[in-house]
Amino acid sequence: MSTLPVPSRQSDAQRSALADTAAQSTLSTNFVAGEENRLLAAVLGAWCEVLAEGDSKPGSSSNSDVWLQLTSPLVLVGSTGSGKSHLAHGLAELAGDKRAVYTTANDLRREFAGTFDDGASRTWRERLASTPIVVIDDLDHLPSRSRFQQELLHMAHEITNRGHKLVVTSAQPIAHLPGWLPDLVNWFAAGLTLEISPLSPESRRELITQFADANGWRLKPDAMDMLVEHTPPEPREVFRLAADMLRQFGTGARLEVDTLAHFIHQRKAAQAPELRDIVRVVSRYYRIPLKSLTSASRQAAVVSARATAVYLARKLTSASYDQIGKQLGGRDHSTIMYSHRQVEKRLRREAALRSAIEDLTRLLRK
């Protein structure tokens, strides 16, 4: 595990989970990256080193050569809760107001609409391009109208010509966004795209251990195993788990397996969909007949959708492998367990699957 010293605004869940412990400054201001995100940690670690120099900007410091080596544009891709916004805002904050401008896609869209109506789009573009670092969060939320994207392309070229940097976040790689200008897609392709992988079981274990140490929780190995198994792989969800545990148990608690099992069951039950609803929603989402998901079909599309339903059932409910197997045509618990583990592995490398899980989770939690 490594940490990136990028300060960011804390969520309510983070503040509650960390309380007033000595670990607050470490866990709330750093992005924790496990082995699955080692490339992300290496690249952003280099950015942090440069930005930590108070006067580092093009042509003004001894590390200007290092500055020029920082890849631009830099695209951080991740699902909701992956930490991409935390990183984007943190980089801008580390750079400071004199060197960076941070904006969200929605704010950028509104600002451009106002300047376009006033005939001042060039002034808008110049203001952004003149800043050493431009950070745009949720770039995939921008409209695909050609006029707006043409101005964005002009701004991108001006940023490049001045040796400045652009950092953006997106739920999908730019090349996967529909309706974008080919020239703009190609410009982003010339930079670096980093996909933020979901937390592996090892990383979840390490992060939960840090929360336990910070709050004085005493966890036996089997209790820790249970928490790791039932914690979703998004960093935001780990913070929420810790916040809920702190509200439920306070600090300094000795947490046994039975106690945590009841806590996890109650927590999931509060917002859990029915198993049959999960199977129906997955069926509609992938346009696969419901009877196929519960049949013996081994077609690749059916097997993948069925495994997705298994993963969602484990993520969103407290149902056992046996109960999930029964809902999916009476399958053996070992088969269901295997499907769940396969999806966990695929999530680390398949952005499309992560996006589908995110969409389905939203639909099931409404």
**What pLDDT sits at residue 67?**
78
- Quick: pLDDT tens for 240-299: 899 999 999 999 999 999 999 999 888 878 878 999 999 999 999 999 999 999 999 999
Determine which helix (DSSP H) or strand (DSSP E) holds 218, and give its type and residue range.
Answer: strand 218-219
Please answer whether residues 119 and 151 qualify as being in contact, where contact means their C-beta atoms are separated by less than 8 angstroms: no
Local confidence band at 11 (pLDDT 50, 70, 90 cut-offs): very low
Please answer whether residues 355 and 172 qualify as being in contact, where contact means their C-beta atoms are separated by less than 8 angstroms: yes
For residue 24, pLDDT over 50 is answered with: no
Local confidence band at 68 (pLDDT 50, 70, 90 cut-offs): confident
Local confidence band at 121 (pLDDT 50, 70, 90 cut-offs): low
Distance, C-alpha 228 to centroid of its chain: 18
Distance CA 309, CA 278 (A): 6
Q: In one letter, which amino acid is 239?
A: F
> What mean pLDDT do residues 138-151 have?
82
Distance, C-alpha 54 to centroid of its chain: 29
For residue 115, pLDDT over 80 is answered with: no
> What mean pLDDT do residues 152-180 have?
90
Q: What topology is assigned to 35-195 in CATH?
A: Rossmann fold (3.40.50)
The per-residue pLDDT of the chain, averaged, comes to 84
Pairing of strands 100-104, 133-137: parallel
Per DSSP, the chain holds a count of helices (H) and strands (E) of 19, 9
For residue 177, pLDDT over 90 is answered with: no
**Superfamily in which the 275-365 domain is placed by CATH:** DnaA protein, C-terminal DNA-binding domain (1.10.1750.10)
Q: Where in the chain is the domain with CATH 3.40.50.300?
A: 35-195
DSSP string, 93-107: HHH-TTTEEEEEHHH
Q: Where in the chain is the domain with CATH 1.10.1750.10?
A: 275-365
> What mean pLDDT do residues 228-238 have?
84
Local confidence band at 5 (pLDDT 50, 70, 90 cut-offs): low
Collect all residues with Cβ–Cβ distance below 8 Å to 191 and sequence separation of at least 6: 71, 72, 73, 74, 75, 166
**What pLDDT sits at residue 18?**
37
Distance CA 311, CA 162 (A): 47
**What pLDDT sits at residue 23?**
35
Please answer whether residues 305 and 319 qualify as being in contact, where contact means their C-beta atoms are separated by less than 8 angstroms: no
Local confidence band at 10 (pLDDT 50, 70, 90 cut-offs): very low
Collect all residues with Cβ–Cβ distance below 8 Å to 202 and sequence separation of at least 6: 34, 35
Determine which helix (DSSP H) or strand (DSSP E) holds 153, and give its type and residue range.
Answer: helix 146-161
Q: Taking the alpha carbons of 170, 172, 175, 181 in that order, is the dihedral positive or negative?
A: negative
Distance CA 123, CA 127 (A): 6
Written in H, E and C, the secondary structure of 161-208 is: HCCCEEEEEECCCHHHCCCCCHHHHHHHHCCEEEECCCCCHHHHHHHH
- Quick: pLDDT tens for 25-55: 334 446 777 788 889 988 988 888 888 876 5
Taking each helix axis from N to C end, the angle separating 275-286 and 300-316, rounded to the nearest 10 degrees, works out to: 140
What's this model's pTM, rounded to 2 decimal places? 0.71
